[in-house]
Amino acid sequence: MKKEINGKTKIIGLIGGNIENSLSPLIHNQIILKHFLNFCYLPFQVAETDLGGAIQGIRALNIRGVNITFPYKEKVIEFLDEVEESARRIGAVNTIVNNKGILTGYNTDVAGFKKSLQDNGKFVIEEKKAVVLGAGGAARAVTYSLLEEGIKEINIFNRTLVKAEKIKQDFSPLFPGSSINIFSFEQKDLKDKIKEANLLVNATSIGMASQLNNTPLPDEKLFHPDFLVYDLIYRPVKTLFLEQAERAGAKIINGLPMLVYQGIESFYLWTGFKPERKEVLEMIRQIT
């Protein structure tokens, strides 16, 4: 497949603080190549102090749009012109679209997480209880997604309690039929809540490729076989957290399906073209 960059090529890309291990450039450029689209997806590693300048640069350079990743999904909002409703409610943006200099923020992580759970057909969310570890941008998207699907109870554990409190404060009025409880990583509460949970999600960054031997759960014995354990991390493909969950007999999902679905939604927002999930998964299989 031949790829020509010419004067009409539209630039899309990824802005983040630590993107060396991101699969997004590979995936998006494979889709572009396969479908002969005149786009090019570039990685932009940006320091926090340069974030405002980088976002202004999207306008200045007429970049069509970008993904926003760790750790800027929340902070980026102040630099945008418009924010789509669910992204505004979540308070986190992972996709920016540039329409003639007007920058609009979206959150495709919500749809990505939701669709990845739907792949596990039998997992009906209503009447279920979840434990979410983390309270950053991804945790907000996951929590919002579960609440939208009508989950009965969510228990959020985070190192910085005030961030979990903010989730409860923001989402409780929107979803009065569901209960949101927050905790710091205290062994006793964690143990009890995990025992009752049908779903456990790691939405912290603990266990990413740069810290392979770390896991957010302090005690491996807390895993049990009767729940679905989901780690949003996709590199490594199986984190220590997932390894331990699998050893305990739990069903596991890593962050790849969510990455695929959110990527498809973002790609569609920039290009108007929606690649098939199957072909994107196949591409990922070939490059990981």
Choose the catalytic residue: 2, 8, 34, 73.
73
Instruction: Give the nearer residue to ligand NAP in terms of CB position, either 91 or 98.
Output: 91
**Are 220 and 242 within 8 A, CB to CB?**
no
Instruction: Give the nearer residue to ligand NAP in terms of CB position, either 59 or 220.
Output: 220
Instruction: Give the nearer residue to ligand NAP in terms of CB position, either 70 or 123.
Output: 70
Instruction: Give the nearer residue to ligand NAP in terms of CB position, either 59 or 238.
Output: 238
Separation between Cα atoms, residue 94 and residue 74, nearest integer Å? 9
Minimum CB separation of residue 74 from ligand NAP in Å reads 6
Instruction: Give the nearer residue to ligand NAP in terms of CB position, either 252 or 259.
Output: 259
Distance of CA 64 to the CA centre of its chain: 21
Minimum CB separation of residue 79 from ligand NAP in Å reads 17
Residue with nearest beta carbon to ligand NAP: 136
Minimum CB separation of residue 5 from ligand NAP in Å reads 27
Minimum CB separation of residue 206 from ligand NAP in Å reads 5
Binding residues for ligand NAP, rule: CB under 6 A, are 70-71, 73, 109, 112, 134-139, 158-160, 163, 203-206, 208, 232-234, 255, 258-259, 262
Q: Which residue has the tokens 């010419």?
A: 6
**Are 277 and 260 within 8 A, CB to CB?**
yes
Separation between Cα atoms, residue 239 and residue 133, nearest integer Å? 15
The answer to whether residue 73 is catalytic is yes
Minimum CB separation of residue 27 from ligand NAP in Å reads 11
Separation between Cα atoms, residue 224 and residue 251, nearest integer Å? 10
Active site residues: 73
